[in-house]
């Protein structure tokens, strides 16, 4: 809310510079900024020129002695020709931020010695204050300017821009803000006047009010004025409204807006002569009822909305906006001022369903005090009588079905200490609460009874009182301690740990982590996921996405990674090894989606050469598989790879990865049609591991195996097999023999003299026994058995 400091000062003395005031309010929960028209007058105040004497060393300079209030005087050097004793001037102290009169640049005022005379302040020109370009002489203020008052406050164009939290509807008013200021600065609040002469007819003879739906309207107050004259508001009112960001319309509407800004209670004025049968009915709208609102929009209402109607038609959308037919115009002579309390939930529901948020609705939805309705209607009536003339009807209509009771809270001293961590002395508690308008009584030896002021609808429990005390005393004044209780026992989080290990392993292997949005485009999804799967289990969709191509919760990381790869290719990067560890979301009927932890990566481009340039061999399936092997080896797992077919991957270049015969992931080359869809004209390899599938296979700590004492015998075995025999099978067959420790492939050869359709595989085989040194005979017998089995099972021939 925009609060002019000058207006605020009508209700509370402002004894702090604006910046400091905003700071204190901010700390206490009302975020505030000082807005000035481009200048900061924190250290500039009104001063009285007591005397002017010649400068001892300069003809064109003079010495001005000024009275700064509270007995403080200062003599400064002044070059202005118009300075004279008796004037009220704007005086800047050391540290004031001004505009340099000559250069026009911002500067900070520092003490200076001018022609041998010390000068620790300045009498300012308009230009120095940033008010205009006028720099011929000093700014002379009017004679009644109060000495010592901050110039910002006096000149009246300093605005406090406040950000009110959702619980504090009472702070959407100048008076509410003044109450905070008063409590924070130990000053009194001056409540505005609300007394006036009632010399008209009794209200009951002029109009009636009936609340039909008392669940939506808690109180309805109305005053009536006859014989008014509608016209423009006086200058002071227009200026205040404009400064607060409200557009002046006419004196009646302006007063209702003024009182809303002043007290926080939205009001509405009806042209009494246009109210059918002079009867106000507060009821739910009929279905299909229509109302042209003040903004000239015809609105279709429904039975969830509350209207203010007369005997036949809706006249206003309760608590949100008035209607055009009964609005106050130049012709209006009698008015009914409505000041009511509506159900905040209903107001918010109606205003959001119509997409119509008004100054009134944002106040009502926060929950206004029912007491305030009466206070505000009186205040408005008083102001109106002064501006529009006319006679106020005797009495005020007040339909108040369920009178709100004064709220009292029993607060124990011990609870305050338990919450705030400090035992506040009762005098401090009472003083602080009283300053905020609370009643505070000390009963028994350990409890307070706190009476909540009517305007504070947000306070209901002892901890609310703790907050009130804490924020006014200052959170910074509370002690600061370390947690002392027992540290809770640790619950294992294996999924988190696994993700961390996999991330670290991939980073150690040289991959860059990326993180992408969780929402993706359906069209892109259908390129990388089998459309049948998508139709069998559609992704989870967001009803109101930020953009149309980000509306599906990703069931795969593939789209995200391809996006990242494509983005970087556009920046000229052709070699990349990237991964993402994140969740995918699988729809479940009637329940939250199943969120599966996945890790996937893309590898594309060329290996680094000796110079670190990506000009080496092309990155291939082997490199990608290397990463998968590296990660799984780090985790202490033994996996198997099997040729497979997978949507979006090239057949014959795809492998399913399994641990203990369970599929945990896949790797392979992305199909050229897929990469083509992302405009990627190079080979791209994908690996994809489900951490959820991997998790059950993660063992505990690895057990030590003794280092074998007996020497191993290493021999090479080369076999010729059919070209489509997987090398992994040959290795597995060799390693199945009891004396074989490992069989490591070290060469693959095709071509002469190997017959066409065959290949030669060479393994380095290590033989070793646990309990003795192998003899040549043992090794030979084992070798012969190996060759025999390879021949039988894989039609392998020993290469000669």
Partner 1 sequence: MSTGELQTLEAQANDSLAAIADETSLEDWRVNYLGRRSRLTEILRGLSALPLEERKQVGAAANRLREALETALAERRDMLRKRDVQTFIQQGRIDVTLPGRPIPMGRLHPVTQTQRDIVACFEKMGFQAVEGPEVEWDYYNFEALRIPEHHPARDMWDTMWIDYHRDGRMPMLLRTHTSPNQVRVMERQQPPIRVVVPGKCYRYEATDATHEWMLTQVEGLAVDEGISMADLKGTLYEFAQQLFGQERRVRFRCDYFPFVEPGADMSIDCFVCNGEGCSTCKGAGWIEIMGAGMVHPEILANVGYDPERYTGFAFGMGVERVAMLRHDIEDIRLFYQNDLRFLEQF
Using CB under 8 A as the binding rule, whether residue 704 contacts partner 1 is answered as no
Q: Kindly state whether residue 446 participates in binding partner 1, applying the rule CB under 8 A.
A: no
SS (H, E, C) 757-770: CEEEEEEEEEECCC
Q: Are 668 and 653 in contact (CB under 8 A)?
A: yes
| Residues 43-72 within binding reach of partner 1 (CB under 8 A) | none
Q: In terms of CB distance, is 179 or 583 closer to partner 1?
A: 583
Nearer to partner 1, 586 or 714 (CB): 586
Pick the closer one to partner 1 by CB: 191 or 609: 609
Q: Of 4 and 462, which has the nearer Cβ to partner 1?
A: 462
Kindly tell me which of 322 and 344 has the beta carbon lying closer to partner 1.
Answer: 344
The only residue of 70, 571, 738, 776 in contact with partner 1, by rule CB under 8 A = 571
Ramachandran angles phi, psi of 750, nearest 5°: -130, 160
Question: Taking the complex as a whole, how short is the minimal distance between the CB of residue 41 and partner 1, in angstroms?
Answer: 16
Site for partner 1 in 339-378 (CB under 8 A): 344-345, 348-349, 352, 362, 365-366
The yes or no reply on residue 488 touching partner 1 (CB under 8 A) is yes
Stretch in the footprint of partner 1 (CB under 8 A) among 132-140, 570-578, 661-669, 689-697: 570-578
C-alpha distance across the termini of the chain, in Å:
93
Q: How many residues bind partner 1 (CB under 8 A)?
A: 90
Taking CA atoms, 707 is separated from 703, 704, 712, 771, in Å, by: 13, 9, 12, 12
CB 434 within 8 A of CB 450: no
Specify the residue, 25 or 677, whose C-beta has the smaller distance to partner 1.
Answer: 25
575 DSSP assignment: -
| Of the candidate residues 507, 633, 727, 732, the single one contacting partner 1 (CB under 8 A) | 507
Judged by CB under 8 A, the chain residues 259 through 298 that form the site for partner 1 are: none
Q: Which position among 110, 443, 490, 707 is part of the footprint of partner 1 (CB under 8 A)?
A: 490
Q: Are 248 and 231 in contact (CB under 8 A)?
A: no
Check residue 739 for interaction with partner 1 (CB under 8 A): no
Contact between residue 433 and residue 450 where contact means Cβ atoms under 8 Å apart: yes
Interface with partner 1 in residues 602-621 (CB under 8 A): 608-612
570: Cβ contacts below 8 Å, ≥ 6 apart: none
Cβ closest to partner 1, residue 57 vs residue 567: 567
Contacts (CB under 8 A) with partner 1, residues 4-33: 26-29
Closest Cα to residue 157, out of 276, 62, 258, 35? 35
753 binds partner 1 (CB under 8 A): no
Q: Is residue 234 close enough to count as binding partner 1 by CB under 8 A?
A: no
Interface with partner 1 (CB under 8 A), residue from 44, 155, 514, 525: 514
> In the beta sheet, which residues pair with residue 52?
64
- Contact in structure between 417 and 423 (CB atoms under 8 Å): yes
Q: Please report, as residue ranges, which positions from 528 to 547 form the binding site for partner 1 (by CB under 8 A).
A: 540-546
Q: How far is the CB of 53 from partner 1 (least distance, A)?
A: 38
Closest among 298, 301, 403, 404 to 349, alpha carbons compared: 301
- Provide the minimum distance between the beta carbon of 512 and partner 1 in the complex, in angstroms, as a whole number: 6
Q: Which stretch binds partner 1 (CB under 8 A): 110-118, 375-383, 430-438, 504-512?
A: 504-512
**Closer to partner 1 by Cβ: residue 507 or 732:** 507
Q: Quick one: which of 82, 232, 517, 795 contacts partner 1 (CB under 8 A)?
A: 517
What radius of gyration, in Å, describes the C-alpha atoms of the chain? 42
Q: How far is the CB of 80 from partner 1 (least distance, A)?
A: 31
Nearest distance, CB of residue 493 and partner 1, angstroms: 6
Of residues 403-442, those binding partner 1 (CB under 8 A): 417-422
In the bound state with partner 1, the residue whose beta carbon lies nearer, of 248 and 555, is 555
Our CB check for partner 1 shows the closer of 249 and 347 to be 347
DSSP character at residue 291: E
Q: Which C-beta is closer to partner 1: that of 380 or that of 553? A: 553
| HSE-CB of 309 using CA atoms within 13 angstroms | 20
Count of C-beta atoms within a 10 Å radius of residue 227: 11
Q: CB under 8 Å to 583, separation ≥6 — which residues?
A: 518, 595, 596, 597, 598
Residue 312 or 588: the one with the smaller Cβ distance to partner 1 is: 588
Give the whole-angstrom CA distance, residue 140 versus residue 75. 18
**Which one of 61-69, 207-215, 513-521, 731-739 is the stretch in contact with partner 1 (CB under 8 A)?**
513-521
Nearer to partner 1, 518 or 526 (CB): 518
Restricting to residues 313-332, which ones interact with partner 1 according to CB under 8 A? none
| Identified binder of partner 1 from the candidate list 212, 446, 515, 732, rule CB under 8 A | 515
Cβ–Cβ under 8 Å, residues 396 and 374: yes
Using the minimum distance from each CB to partner 1, give the nearer residue, 3 or 553.
Answer: 553
- Applying CB under 8 A, which part among 150-158, 159-167, 279-287, 721-729 lies near partner 1? 159-167
Is the separation of the CB atoms in 610 and 632 below 8 Å? Answer: no
Q: Say whether residue 568 binds partner 1 (CB under 8 A).
A: yes
Span near partner 1 by CB under 8 A; candidates 44-52, 152-160, 182-190, 506-514:
506-514
Which DSSP string corresponds to 45-104?
EEEEEEEEEEETTEEEEEEEEEE-STT-EEEEEE--TT--TT-EEEEEETT-EEE-TTT-
Report residue 333: phi and psi, to 5°. Answer: -120, -25
Q: Which stretch of DSSP H or E encloses residue 746? A: strand 740-749
Which residue in 229, 247, 573, 791 binds partner 1 (CB under 8 A)? 573
Whether the CB-CB separation of 557 and 688 falls below 8 Å is answered with yes
Q: How far is the CB of 399 from partner 1 (least distance, A)?
A: 25
Q: Are the C-beta atoms of 93 and 81 separated by less than 8 Å?
A: no
Closest distance to partner 1 from the beta carbon of 691 (Å)? 12
Cα dist from 400 to 217, 339, 373, whole Å: 9, 12, 10
Name every residue whose Cβ is closer than 8 Å to that of residue 61 and which is 6 or more positions away in sequence: 55, 77, 78, 79, 114, 115
Q: Which of 38, 355, 486, 777 touches partner 1 by CB under 8 A?
A: 486
CA distance 374 to 265: 10
Closest to partner 1 by CB, 255 vs 285, is 285
Residue 110 interacting with partner 1 (CB under 8 A): no
600 touching partner 1, by CB under 8 A: no
Q: Is 190 helix (H, G, I), strand (E, B) or coil?
A: coil
Among the listed ranges 247-255, 573-581, 768-776, 783-791, the one in contact with partner 1 (CB under 8 A) is: 573-581
- Residue 646 Cβ vs partner 1, minimum distance, rounded to whole Å: 25
Binder to partner 1 among 8, 576, 694, 786 (CB under 8 A)? 576
Contact string 455-484 vs partner 1 (x = CB under 8 A): ------x-xx-xx--xx---xx-xxxxxxx
Site for partner 1 in 162-221 (CB under 8 A): 165-168
Q: Which of 145, 577, 667, 680 binds partner 1 (CB under 8 A)?
A: 577
CA–CA gap between residue 220 and residue 396 (Å, rounded): 10
Distances (CA, A) of 146 to 39, 47, 68, 158, 171: 21, 8, 10, 17, 29
What residues contact 248, with CB distance under 8 A and at least 6 apart? 232, 233, 237, 238, 241, 242, 254
Nearer to partner 1, 117 or 422 (CB): 422
């Amino acid at each position: 809310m925009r609060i002019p400091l000058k207006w605020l000062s009508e209700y509370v003395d402002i004894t702090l510079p604006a910046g400091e005031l905003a700071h204190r309010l901010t700390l206490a929960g009302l975020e505030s900024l000082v807005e000035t028209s481009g200048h900061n007058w924190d250290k500039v105040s009104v001063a009285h020129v007591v005397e002017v004497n010649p400068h001892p060393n300069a003809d064109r300079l003079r010495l001005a002695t000024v009275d700064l209030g509270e007995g403080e005087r200062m003599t400064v050097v002044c070059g202005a020709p118009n300075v004279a004793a008796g004037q009220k001037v704007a005086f800047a102290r050391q540290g004031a931020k001004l505009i340099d009169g000559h250069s026009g640049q911002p500067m900070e005022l520092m003490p200076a010695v001018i022609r041998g005379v010390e000068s620790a302040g300045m009498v300012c020109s308009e230009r120095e204050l940033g008010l205009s370009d006028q720099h011929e002489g000093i700014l002379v203020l009017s004679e009644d300017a109060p000495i010592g008052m901050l110039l910002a406050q006096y000149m009246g164009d300093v605005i406090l821009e406040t950000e009110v939290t959702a619980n504090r509807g009472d702070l959407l008013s100048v008076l509410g803000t003044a109450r905070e200021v008063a409590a924070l600065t130990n000053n009194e609040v001056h409540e505005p006047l609300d007394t006036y002469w009632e010399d008209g007819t009794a209200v009951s003879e002029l109009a009636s009010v009936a609340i039909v739906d008392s669940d939506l309207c808690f109180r309805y107050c109305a005053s009536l004025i006859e014989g008014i004259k509608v016209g423009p508001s006086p200058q002071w009112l227009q200026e205040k409204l404009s400064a607060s960001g409200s557009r002046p319309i006419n004196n009646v509407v302006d007063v209702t807006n003024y009182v809303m800004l002043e007290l926080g209670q939205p009001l509405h004025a009806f042209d009494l002569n246009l109210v059918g049968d002079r009867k106000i009915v507060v009821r739910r709208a009929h279905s299909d009822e229509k109302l042209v609102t003040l903004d000239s929009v015809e609105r279709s209402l429904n039975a969830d909305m509350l209207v203010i109607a007369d005997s036949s038609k809706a006249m206003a959308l309760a608590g949100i906006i008035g209607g055009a037919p009964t609005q106050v115009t130049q012709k209006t002579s009698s008015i009914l001022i409505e000041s009511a309390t509506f159900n905040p939930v209903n107001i918010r529901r109606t205003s959001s369903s119509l997409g119509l948020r008004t100054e009134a609705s944002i106040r009502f939805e926060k929950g206004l005090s029912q007491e305030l309705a009466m206070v505000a209607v009186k205040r408005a009536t008083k102001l109106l009588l002064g501006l529009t003339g006319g006679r106020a009807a005797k009495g005020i209509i007040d339909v108040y079905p369920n009178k709100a009771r004064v709220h009292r809270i029993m607060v124990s001293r011990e609870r305050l200490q338990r919450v705030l961590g400090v035992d506040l002395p009762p005098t401090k508690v009472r003083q602080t609460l009283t300053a905020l308008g609370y009643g505070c009584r000390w009963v028994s030896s350990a409890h307070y009874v706190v009476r909540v002021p009517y305007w504070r609808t947000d306070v209901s429990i002892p901890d609310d009182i703790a907050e009130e005390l804490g924020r006014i005393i200052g959170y910074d004044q509370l002690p600061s301690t370390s947690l002392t209780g027992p540290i809770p026992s640790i619950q294992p989080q294996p999924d988190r740990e696994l993700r961390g290990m996999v991330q670290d392993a991939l980073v150690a292997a040289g991959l860059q982590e990326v993180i992408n949005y969780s929402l993706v485009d359906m069209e892109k999804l259908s390129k990388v996921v089998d459309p049948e799967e998508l139709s069998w289990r559609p992704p989870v969709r967001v009803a109101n996405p930020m953009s149309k191509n980000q509306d599906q919760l990703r069931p795969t990381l593939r789209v995200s990674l391809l996006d990242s790869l494509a983005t970087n290719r556009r920046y000229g990067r052709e070699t990349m090894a990237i991964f993402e560890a994140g969740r995918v979301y699988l729809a479940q009927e009637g329940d939250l989606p199943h969120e599966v932890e996945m890790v996937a990566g893309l590898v594309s481009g060329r290996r680094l050469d000796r110079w670190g340039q990506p000009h080496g061999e092309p990155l291939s399936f082997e490199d990608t598989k290397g990463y998968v092997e590296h990660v799984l080896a780090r985790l202490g797992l033994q996996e198997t790879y099997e040729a497979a077919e997978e949507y979006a991957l090239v057949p014959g270049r795809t492998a399913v990865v399994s641990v203990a015969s369970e599929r945990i992931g896949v790797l392979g080359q992305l199909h050229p049609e897929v990469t083509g869809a992302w405009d990627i004209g190079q080979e791209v390899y994908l690996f994809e591991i489900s951490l959820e599938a991997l998790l059950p296979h993660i063992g505990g700590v690895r057990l030590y195996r003794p280092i074998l004492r007996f020497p191993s015998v290493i021999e090479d075995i080369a076999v010729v097999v059919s070209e489509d025999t997987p090398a992994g099978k040959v290795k597995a067959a060799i390693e199945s023999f009891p004396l074989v420790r490992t069989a490591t492939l070290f060469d693959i050869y095709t071509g002469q003299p190997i017959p066409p359709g065959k290949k030669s595989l060479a393994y380095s085989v290590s033989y070793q026994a646990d309990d003795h040194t192998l003899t040549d005979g043992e090794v030979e017998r084992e070798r012969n058995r190996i060759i025999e089995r390879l021949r039988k099972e894989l039609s392998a021939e020993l290469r000669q």
